Amino acid sequence: MDQVLNGCLKFACLFFCVALISCGGGGGGTAPVAAASIVASPSTVTPTPIDTANSGAFNATWVMGSPTANSVTFNVHTTDLEGQVSLDFGTTSLQYDQQIPSIQLELDKPLELLLRNLKAGTRYFYRFRFQASNSKDSVVTPEYEFQTAKQAGQSFIFAIQGDSHPERLKTQFDGDLYKRTLLRAAADKPDFYILSGDDFSVDTLNPDTITAAQVRERYTLQRPYLNLIGRTSPLFLVNGNHEQAARYLLNDTPNNVAVWAQSARNSLYAQPAPDGFYSGNTEVIPYIGLLRNYFAWTWGDALFVVIDPYWESPVAVDNQFGGATKRQSMWEVTHGDAQYAWLKRTLEQSKAKYKFIFAHHVMGTGRGGIELAKLWEWGGESQNGQLDFSLQRPNWTTPIHQLMASNKVTIFFQGHDHIWVRQKLDGVTYQTLSQPADPNYTLWNSDAYLSGDKFSNTGYTRVSVSPSQVKVEYVRTYLQKDEGPGKVHGEVAFSYTLP
């Protein structure tokens, strides 16, 4: 081991604890997940520059999640070699004065490493060190970096993608194009990256033979891709309709698609639970624990809110899985009283200059943006134009759109429709997101949007937030063979600023 590793192992003020927990805190039927909770303090040794040339020998994937002003969580997963893994990090490139000591990384058992006592608004640099169980040699990864939460007045960038649908090969997904999109987004060094749902679709699996392992495979499938950006930008996940992480599928046992899907998500991707930095869903679901499906946080001058209609609805919101009973009315579809009360309180109490809300789609189903905003619990009207809101939602004060408008929500982001569209209604911008990996660059569902600026796939959305404005850019991405005049990988197809 080199000088830095020897020095880091000497300091005595590092508290280290390892515990085995079940996926998402649930019970029977879920696989154990190794979790490390670490409080890291500066080493007393003098940092030494280290050459972090590509080692090529650490084939695990890792993605970050749940960043705060003073912490971040790494989720490390391997299906190749098991062994001892440690993490060197610091605030200066190629100099590491802090470390997470070695901990065992086992095959196909996600390992969570929580870094605490970090500095707010600070960029950190890190590398992993790995010693395989069948080797005496240690290897190191290249250097990567991450950002703790920005404080008010500090500018930052975040990025977001629409539905990746890796199960739709050739029609809406190409692996090489997805990689190019994620690497292009990673080059922007966004403070975090948001996925808007339908990234772990399970409902193409046979409902008569589906297993927990098959569902989990939908989540491990994304790891090599999301590792490309998740190693520098923490990930936030939004539930989509094809994930089938939905309450209507629960059956009071651990053996159902809803439990399998949400448990796989929570074990393989570190998502926020309510604490001093995040607010969110406090309901504990048997066999899962905390869902981590809706949550909010403040970063710089902006409030971020993720909402989810699928877990709260007692019926299938969009597509049914395995022949479930179809809904009779869209009034049966709901975000639920608890989530609505939380959303209302979160928006009303926030002092943030900008407010962003993320969901897979308006009401979780249908096609269009502001075209649907007047309907059901989102807008208050029934399909026939009658205002039935007070009758159908007696415990709510206003429909969701009016709640957003009255609280000056800056942008509502949605996926689902596989098209990039900007619209505006009552001061609220509705931003629909493109797919990141459509090799046909299709303009899907254009007829559902009666107004707005419309663009076809493929690409991601980059959002720059400063104290004076928000800038939104649609960044187009292409396979190299498809580039040409007017088709430049990484070009900005459209942009706008707010206010």
27-38 pLDDT, tens digit per residue, is 333 333 334 443
Give the pLDDT score at 47. Answer: 37
Give the pLDDT score at 325. Answer: 67
Give residue-wise pLDDT tens across range 79-92: 989 999 999 999 99
**What is the value of pTM for the model shown?**
0.90
The SS3 of residue 99 is strand
Give residue-wise pLDDT tens across range 2-30: 333 333 333 223 323 333 333 333 333 33
- Asked if 212 and 260 count as a contact pair (C-beta separation under 8 A), the reply is yes
Stretch 141-167: mean pLDDT: 97
Give the pLDDT score at 112. Answer: 97
Give the pLDDT score at 324. Answer: 62
Candidates 249, 396, 251; CA nearest to 315 is 249
Give residue-wise pLDDT tens across range 260-273: 999 999 999 999 99
Stretch 417-439: mean pLDDT: 98
Give the pLDDT score at 32. Answer: 32
Question: pLDDT confidence of 388, banded at 50, 70, 90?
Answer: very high
Give residue-wise pLDDT tens across range 231-251: 999 999 999 999 999 999 999
Stretch 109-114: mean pLDDT: 97
Strand ranges of the sheet holding 459-465, from the earlier edge strand across to the other edge: 15-22, 32-39, 111-116, 72-77, 61-65, 235-237, 193-195, 156-161, 459-465, 470-476, 492-498
Stretch 349-368: mean pLDDT: 98
Share of the chain above pLDDT 90, in %: 85
CA torsion, points 359, 360, 362, 364, in degrees to nearest 10? -120
What are the backbone dihedrals phi and psi of residue 438, each rounded to the nearest 5 degrees, phi first?
A: -75, 110
Give the pLDDT score at 28. Answer: 34
Give the pLDDT score at 322. Answer: 82
Query: Which helix (H) or strand (E) element contains residue 378?
Result: helix 376-379
Which position has the higher pLDDT, 12 or 222? 222
- Asked if 362 and 399 count as a contact pair (C-beta separation under 8 A), the reply is no
Q: Is the pLDDT assigned to residue 71 strictly greater than 90?
A: yes
- Asked if 223 and 77 count as a contact pair (C-beta separation under 8 A), the reply is yes
Tell me which residue has tokens 């997101």: 433
Lowest mean pLDDT among 47-56, 335-344, 481-490: 47-56
Q: Which domains does the chain have, with CATH numbers?
A: 3-147 (2.60.40.10), 156-498 (3.60.21.10)
Lowest mean pLDDT among 41-50, 265-274, 285-294, 326-335: 41-50
> What rounded mean pLDDT belongs to the chain?
90
Neighbour count for residue 18 (Cβ, 10 Å): 12
Give the pLDDT score at 193. Answer: 99
Question: pLDDT confidence of 326, banded at 50, 70, 90?
Answer: confident
